[in-house]
Amino acid sequence: MQASYHITQAGLLYAIASVQAEEERCFLLAFLKKNNTSPFSFSDAQAYYEQDTEIAFKQICSLLEQGFIDISDNVAHLPVTQENRPLNSEYLLSDLNGLPIRYQGFERTQADQLAAIANDYIRVSRRSLKNYETGKLLSPVSLDIRFHDKDVCILLLHLGNFSCLLTVTDPTSQQQNWFFPFIRSLCNRYDHDRA
């Protein structure tokens, strides 16, 4: 089978939406990381499942059916570079300790404040969301707040082992061209096994 696959917008959002390591989510994250060098093919799926063709085939079919991946012949392949960042947008990437990691369009003090606020809002929201069936706390996927007369959206990203907050002023950022390669570059750099 020579077809290659690409992850869709829905697949990307599903992959980074939760810290729960479900099979499909782990596979999609591996898919994202593989896309670093070349398109994802069926042989990559086989390799992921240690040459178990049947499971690989079922997983690919399931993801295709759910619209998380798509078959493509000539997808423009964007290699992961340091330039895969929101070049013209205001953004702040911060960790779950409330510390800024990277930012653009904010002053240093603003970035420090916003990183701390974003972390607090996510934590507070987490306390108020509870799954009554399992009794576990639920994490919000995103939050909209107002900061210094600007509407900002805080996205909670779970990139495998690495969770972080992406705060953006553009509400359509998830549909922007930079979003996919940016997430992919973060996955490739920071989703690693802890020693």
Partner 1 sequence: MTEHDHNGKLISPDAGLNTGGTEEMINILRDMNNECRDIQLSMLSTNDGLTMAAVGTVMDPDQVGAMCSELTTVCNKAARQLEQGNLEQIILRCSEGCLFLMPAGEYAILAIMSVPDVNLGLLIIEAQRAAALIGEAL
Which residues of this protein are in contact with partner 1, per CB under 8 A? 94-95, 97, 99-102, 108, 115, 162, 189-190, 192-195
- The position carrying tokens 């690409």 is 6
Taking the complex as a whole, the smallest distance from the CB of residue 107 to partner 1 amounts, in Å, to 13
Taking the complex as a whole, the smallest distance from the CB of residue 155 to partner 1 amounts, in Å, to 16
Taking the complex as a whole, the smallest distance from the CB of residue 192 to partner 1 amounts, in Å, to 5
Taking the complex as a whole, the smallest distance from the CB of residue 97 to partner 1 amounts, in Å, to 7
Q: Kindly tell me which of 102 and 126 has the beta carbon lying closer to partner 1.
A: 102
The three-point CA angle 119-125-129 to 5° equals 145
Q: Kindly tell me which of 6 and 85 has the beta carbon lying closer to partner 1.
A: 85
CB atoms within 10 A of CB 165: 24
Closest Cα partner for 5 from 34, 37, 36, 42?
42
Q: Kindly tell me which of 28 and 114 has the beta carbon lying closer to partner 1.
A: 114
Taking the complex as a whole, the smallest distance from the CB of residue 84 to partner 1 amounts, in Å, to 14
The CA distance from 44 to 170, in Å, is 35
Q: Kindly tell me which of 60 and 118 has the beta carbon lying closer to partner 1.
A: 118
**Alpha carbon distances (Å) from 177 to 38, 102, 184, 195:** 19, 19, 12, 34
Taking the complex as a whole, the smallest distance from the CB of residue 163 to partner 1 amounts, in Å, to 11
Query: What b/e readout covers 59-75, taking b as 16+ CB neighbours within 10 angstroms?
Result: bbeebeeeebbeeeeee
The DSSP element (H or E) to which 160 belongs, if any, is none
Q: Kindly tell me which of 148 and 192 has the beta carbon lying closer to partner 1.
A: 192
Structure tokens at 55: 């499971």
Q: Kindly tell me which of 87 and 99 has the beta carbon lying closer to partner 1.
A: 99
- Going by the DSSP 8-state scheme, the letter that residue 191 receives in this structure is -
